[in-house]
Amino acid sequence: MLTGAMLQIPGGVELLVFNVVIALVVGYFIYRDASRRTDNAALWAVGMAVASLLLSLVGFLVAYVIYYLVVVRR
């Protein structure tokens, strides 16, 4: 059972919500950019959002470098 003290620990639920919001924002902006550059805009957006959500900052940076090399420098 969750008590009031457990819900007030920094990095708990707040961190999870923050990560989901960041993943959605990343997916949105990547979709907007990829829709102008390639036909697979939804695939890139979902991939970047998942990398941002599951792999945190390092995963996002690796996925962004791949996106940049494959789509932007094309």
DSSP state of 8: T
Residue 23 near residue 30 (C-beta atoms within 8 A):
no
Between 3 and 57, where is the model more confident? 57
Confidence of residue 23 (pLDDT cuts 50, 70, 90): confident
> What was the pLDDT predicted at 11?
65
Query: Which residues lie closer than 8 Å to 37 by C-beta, 6 or more apart?
Result: 71, 72, 74
DSSP state of 39: S
Residues of the chain with pLDDT > 70, as a percent, come to 84
Cα(27)–Cα(8) distance, integer angstroms: 29
* Predicted confidence (pLDDT) per residue in 1-13, tens digit: 555 555 566 666 7
Average predicted confidence (pLDDT) for the chain: 81
- Classify residue 16 as exposed, middle or buried by CB count within 10 Å of its CB (0-12, 13-18, 19+): exposed
